[in-house]
Chain A
Amino acid sequence: MAIPIKYNLRNLAVRKVSTLMVIAGVALVVVIFVSIMAVVDGLDRIYQTSGEPDNVIVLRKGASDTVMSALAPDVLQQVRTLPEVATDETGEQLISQEMDINISLPSRSSQGNQFVVVRGVDPIALKVHQRVRVISGAGPQQGNRIMIGNGVAASLGNLQLGDRIQFGQSTWTIGGIFEAPGTVFGSEIWADRRDLMLDARREQISYLVMKLRDRSAVTQVARRLTDDKRIAVRALSEQAYLIRAEAESLLSQLSLLGVLLAIFMAISGGLGGMNLMYTAVSARTREIGMLFAMGFSKSSVLFSFLLELLIVTISGGVLGALIALLAGAFSMTLSVGGRVVSFSPHVAFTTLVEGLLIAIVIGVLGGVLPALAAAKVKVVDALRAF
């Protein structure tokens, strides 16, 4: 027969300060774990949605990012022969030749400079990158007319159409502003590719992005290009590229940090719980004796004490998860791989479940030994204490 839960609840209420402290301790563990994971998930999500699933990016072999890449002209010819490449309504292949550079511009927060990616593109780029939408003015045009992302427009100090900014050897006029919701492109400046190559004294483009007719062909086309011995390129899906080139190491290190913190803090929280229960067991030796005398079995005493701590840690877990839900309400700006990324932490349902699991693990780890001690209490000794 099981000992009623009410017995545990009453006992916890008697030691309410200690109980609340352990609840708070467990809640903190869960808050830390869930909020770090929320940052990781939020960042991961914005990168996942940034690349279009039917886009393939072609870089120089060995280049880890677009800024470090340079492509010979024969690559373009090779790519043009691929039947999988999509075309627009006029029959033009959706292949965007692009060139990236990193510049540093004075930022509004007066904390010195901010890095900005400048992407040199042809008009076809807007058809390849369909998430990029011109919201005012026009796309990049020859004659040093650039289009800037709304993110960068804000962070550089409320730039407007017609404003001029200086970088490189030239002055550039803002001829358009674009938005790219849910992507990391909003912090870029787009310029006409020929203008930019001329200005940077570059003869080769950095990379190609092409849209395929069928997204299921992406992996296969990418592998074929990468394995092609005639051209030294590395091709991969735009999604995979963005994550691998820019965010992967930060993401993996951050989630490692989250998991490590959770493990260590859970141990520490478990010790706190153990303390609570050992004290409870020694203070209630007489009660335990009574329970045995009333006919409760060892296992029901054991279970009852284990349950008591579980009630505490699960309440802590729920409390922590609720607090951590707030993380989603903040927005963060991080520099990831030379690019400023704004995103909101995302509290995934699975993360909440994991947070609760941590709370349960703390309860079990902290509760088992004291519960065993309770079950080992000898009736005679206990009753002698009267």
Chain B
Amino acid sequence: MEYLLIRKNLLRNRKRTALTVVGVAISIFLFCGLLTIITVMNNLLKDAENSSVLGVRNFYSWVEGTIPVTYVERVKQVPGVQTVCPLNFLTSYIDVGKPNLFGLAADPVTVREIFPEFKEIPETAYQDFMRERTGALMGKEKMETFGWKVGDLVTLRGASVPIDIPIKITGVIPYGGLADNFVIHRDYFEELNPDKGNINFILLRVGSGHTPAEMIQTIDQTFQRDAIKIKTETVKTVLLALIGQIDNLQILIIVIAAIILVSSLLLAANSIAMSVRGRRRELAVLQTIGYTPRRILILVLGESLVTVLIGGIIGSVTAYVVLYYVGLNLPLGPQSYFNMPWQTLIEALLICAVVGVLSGLVPALGSVRMVLADALRRVG
């Protein structure tokens, strides 16, 4: 019965309902985009928390510090270390004035064990990558920026190294932290690079039965007496350092998201309030046919809930589809590429339900007051 009335009432002023639904949909669309940014950042940390991947770097510095390649074997010898992947970082460019490309020269076999997103690359493409000496996995973002296809031959001109590196794109990194980067074979890079025998980073996976904390200690101790000092870190430490500095921006995003919600709340509340105001006489009729104030309250709340939910579903599903196909590219600390997780979609819908009830509250209470006032008048 209530449902029927809610439907009738909403369809009575179609123009108003449509305007409100579209307005709410737009707000929720924006809200989902912002919520995605926050969620992806938090998920990154949560994943890192459970990650069994550790990084070994030069104690001294970060991107440009090197450690001897001989350390790789010694890290492998440490009991509890499972997969070991030596890396070199390199910055390159295609042409002056075009965006730079930052990538990794890595061991193609073990790198797959470290980055979970590589499992999503089709097996045949990955086999091609492993077989081709000059093979490269290119991030989805960079493929789009430069308009490349799989199979293209490209020459990377080194900015951090004085060499040109001809590569063949054999696969695409679909998402994740490396979607804006590339990966090439370290052997091939080593052959071209005049600075032989040095790497920037060793990534390793901790075997079961060992905790990351104890492994960090063991590895650091192993190299304690060496001339070139190293530091072992969890992925989370690295991320925290990167995220910690964009804290402020995250706060700004949260504030904006909240403001957007409030504005959609205002929009819906106003629309329902206007519709209720025009129905004063009807509310009195409802009461005479036996509607209690409570039922009238539910009626109005339901009206706003339905309006906001329809708008919310349109907005959040659109956001999901748009972010899935187009993606959001914003360089924020460790992440520059955002896809909307389905959990965010559910969250957004739940939040819409709350907004729907809240925005109906003022007009609903108003209508109850109206009904009561009329009742009193009748008694008098």
* Cα separation A332 to B252 with both chains bound (whole Å): 10
Given contacts A111-B240, A114-B241, A335-B245, contact A265 B274 (CB under 8 A): no
Complex contact A335–B333 (CB within 8 A): yes
Given contacts A68-B91, A264-B26, contact A276 B270 (CB under 8 A): yes
Q: By DSSP majority rule, is chain A's interface helix, strand, loop, or mixed?
A: helix
**Which B residues, 8 to 39, have Cβ-Cβ distances below 8 Å to chain A?**
15-16, 19-20, 22-24, 26-27, 29-30
B271: which A residues are within 8 A, CB to CB?
A: 272, 275
Choose, from B73-81, B255-263, B345-353, the stretch at the interface. Answer: B255-263
Complex contact B245–A114 (CB within 8 A): yes
Complex contact A334–B249 (CB within 8 A): yes
- Is A340 positioned at the interface, with any CB of B under 8 Å from its CB? yes
The residue that A25 contacts in the complex, of B247, B267, B274, with Cβ under 8 A, is B267
Measured CB to CB, the closest approach of chain A to B28, in angstroms, equals 10
- Tell me the nearest residue of chain A to B91, going by C-beta: A68
Complex contact A261–B256 (CB within 8 A): yes
Complex contact A39–B23 (CB within 8 A): no
Q: How many A-B residue pairs have CB under 8 A?
A: 180
Complex contact B240–A28 (CB within 8 A): no
* Cα separation A257 to B271 with both chains bound (whole Å): 28
* Cα separation A278 to B17 with both chains bound (whole Å): 12
- Is A274 positioned at the interface, with any CB of B under 8 Å from its CB? yes
1/0 per residue B129-147: CB within 8 Å of A? 0000000000000000000
Complex contact B274–A199 (CB within 8 A): no
- Is B176 positioned at the interface, with any CB of A under 8 Å from its CB? no
1/0 per residue A62-105: CB within 8 Å of B? 11100111100000000000000000000000000000011110
- Is A1 positioned at the interface, with any CB of B under 8 Å from its CB? no
Interface centre among A36, A60, A112, A264 (most CB of B within 10 A): A112
The residue that B63 contacts in the complex, of A25, A102, A249, with Cβ under 8 A, is A102
- Tell me the nearest residue of chain A to B244, going by C-beta: A111
**Which A residues, 310 to 344, have Cβ-Cβ distances below 8 Å to chain B?**
332-335, 340
- Is B214 positioned at the interface, with any CB of A under 8 Å from its CB? no
Choose, from A14-22, A44-52, A142-150, the stretch at the interface. Answer: A14-22
A64: which B residues are within 8 A, CB to CB?
A: 91, 93, 100, 159
* Cα separation A261 to B333 with both chains bound (whole Å): 21
A39: which B residues are within 8 A, CB to CB?
A: 252
Complex contact B237–A113 (CB within 8 A): yes
* Cα separation A329 to B228 with both chains bound (whole Å): 47
A334: which B residues are within 8 A, CB to CB?
A: 245-246, 248-249
B252: which A residues are within 8 A, CB to CB?
A: 35-36, 39
* Cα separation A126 to B278 with both chains bound (whole Å): 74
Complex contact B270–A107 (CB within 8 A): no
Complex contact B331–A283 (CB within 8 A): no
1/0 per residue B323-335: CB within 8 Å of A? 0000001110100
- Is A29 positioned at the interface, with any CB of B under 8 Å from its CB? yes
Choose, from B54-62, B109-117, B165-173, B367-375, the stretch at the interface. Answer: B54-62
The residue that B260 contacts in the complex, of A250, A265, A283, with Cβ under 8 A, is A265
- Is A253 positioned at the interface, with any CB of B under 8 Å from its CB? yes
Given contacts A115-B241, A335-B242, contact A67 B60 (CB under 8 A): no
* Cα separation A112 to B333 with both chains bound (whole Å): 15
Complex contact A333–B229 (CB within 8 A): no
**Which B residues, 85 to 124, have Cβ-Cβ distances below 8 Å to chain A?**
91-93, 96, 100
Complex contact A268–B23 (CB within 8 A): yes
B241: which A residues are within 8 A, CB to CB?
A: 104, 112-115
A62: which B residues are within 8 A, CB to CB?
A: 92-93, 96, 100, 157-159
* Cα separation A114 to B247 with both chains bound (whole Å): 13
* Cα separation A29 to B60 with both chains bound (whole Å): 47
Complex contact B61–A279 (CB within 8 A): no
- Is B64 positioned at the interface, with any CB of A under 8 Å from its CB? yes
Complex contact B229–A169 (CB within 8 A): yes
* Cα separation A320 to B162 with both chains bound (whole Å): 53
Measured CB to CB, the closest approach of chain A to B115, in angstroms, equals 22
- Is A360 positioned at the interface, with any CB of B under 8 Å from its CB? no
- Is B266 positioned at the interface, with any CB of A under 8 Å from its CB? yes
Complex contact A18–B270 (CB within 8 A): yes
- Is B273 positioned at the interface, with any CB of A under 8 Å from its CB? yes
Complex contact A271–B273 (CB within 8 A): no
1/0 per residue B149-182: CB within 8 Å of A? 0000000011110100000000000000000000
The residue that B266 contacts in the complex, of A24, A32, A249, A253, with Cβ under 8 A, is A24
Complex contact A199–B267 (CB within 8 A): no
Complex contact B61–A200 (CB within 8 A): yes
Given contacts A62-B157, A68-B91, A265-B260, contact A109 B64 (CB under 8 A): no
Interface centre among B27, B64, B270 (most CB of A within 10 A): B270
- Is B269 positioned at the interface, with any CB of A under 8 Å from its CB? yes
- Is A168 positioned at the interface, with any CB of B under 8 Å from its CB? yes
Complex contact A67–B23 (CB within 8 A): no
B264: which A residues are within 8 A, CB to CB?
A: 268
* Cα separation A261 to B37 with both chains bound (whole Å): 14
Measured CB to CB, the closest approach of chain B to A222, in angstroms, equals 13
- Is A61 positioned at the interface, with any CB of B under 8 Å from its CB? yes
- Is A234 positioned at the interface, with any CB of B under 8 Å from its CB? yes
B160: which A residues are within 8 A, CB to CB?
A: 63, 68, 70
B269: which A residues are within 8 A, CB to CB?
A: 21
Given A269-B263, A278-B16, A333-B247, 14 other A-B contacts at CB below 8 A?
A: A24-B263, A32-B256, A61-B159, A69-B159, A103-B61, A112-B237, A265-B30, A267-B23, A268-B26, A271-B20, A275-B16, A333-B248, A334-B245, A335-B244
Q: Which residues of B contact A (CB under 8 A)?
A: 15-16, 19-20, 22-24, 26-27, 29-30, 59-65, 91-93, 96, 100, 157-160, 162, 227-229, 237, 240-242, 244-249, 252, 256, 259-260, 262-264, 266-267, 269-271, 273-274, 278, 329-331, 333
Nearest 4 interchain pairs by C-beta = A335-B245, A271-B23, A168-B60, A62-B159
**Can you show 20 pairs from A to B with CB atoms below 8 A apart?**
A21-B266, A21-B267, A28-B260, A28-B263, A32-B259, A32-B260, A61-B96, A62-B157, A101-B60, A103-B60, A169-B228, A169-B229, A249-B331, A253-B330, A253-B331, A265-B27, A265-B263, A269-B263, A272-B19, A333-B247
